[in-house]
Amino acid sequence: MHEELLLDNQICFRLYTVSRLMTQAYMPMLTKLGITYPQYLVMMVLWERDAQPVNDIAHRLMLETNTVTPLLQRMERLGLIVRRRGEMDKRQQIVSLTERGRALEQQAYELIPAGMGERLSACPFQLEDYRRFAGELDTVIDALKEKQ
């Protein structure tokens, strides 16, 4: 057996596992909010800056627009967002929060940071450690994006 092919030697497996477990940790809180994890990601993008083109949202999430569009359609049916044609370019769709979508930000703020802090309380990391780790992951993400 080649050492390079051992599961325990794979950083990708650890990243996959952390991603899966983190998403599972969010689920009880997101269920209370009535949204899925991908919908939560879109909401965070719109809470940062409302009224964005679909392409900008997809780019920010590092997804293709054909992946984001069905997600936005479901969110519109939930009454969280509205989509309208761009004023300058009618081919462009602008996504904006509804009152319900804006109100969800406060609910998420009250629920998620404390909930995730509790879920990660057994982990010895401090906030600075998470910030450093996020920067290191950004370096990996940038390197992988360059190869696409």
pLDDT tens, residue by residue, 60-115:
999 999 999 999 999 999 999 999 987 777 778 999 999 999 999 999 999 999 99
Tokens, residue 119: 């879920």
SS3 call for 39: helix
Query: What residue spans define the domains of the chain?
Result: 3-122
Domain covering 3-122, topology:
Arc Repressor Mutant, subunit A (1.10.10)
Instruction: Give the C-alpha separation, 102 to 80, whole Å.
Output: 8
- Give the pLDDT mean for 128-139: 93
For CA atoms 46, 48, 52, 56, the dihedral sign is: negative
- Do 96 and 60 meet the contact criterion of CB atoms below 8 Å apart? no
Judged against a pLDDT cut of 70, whether residue 148 lies above it is answered with no
pLDDT tens, residue by residue, 24-43:
999 999 999 999 999 999 99
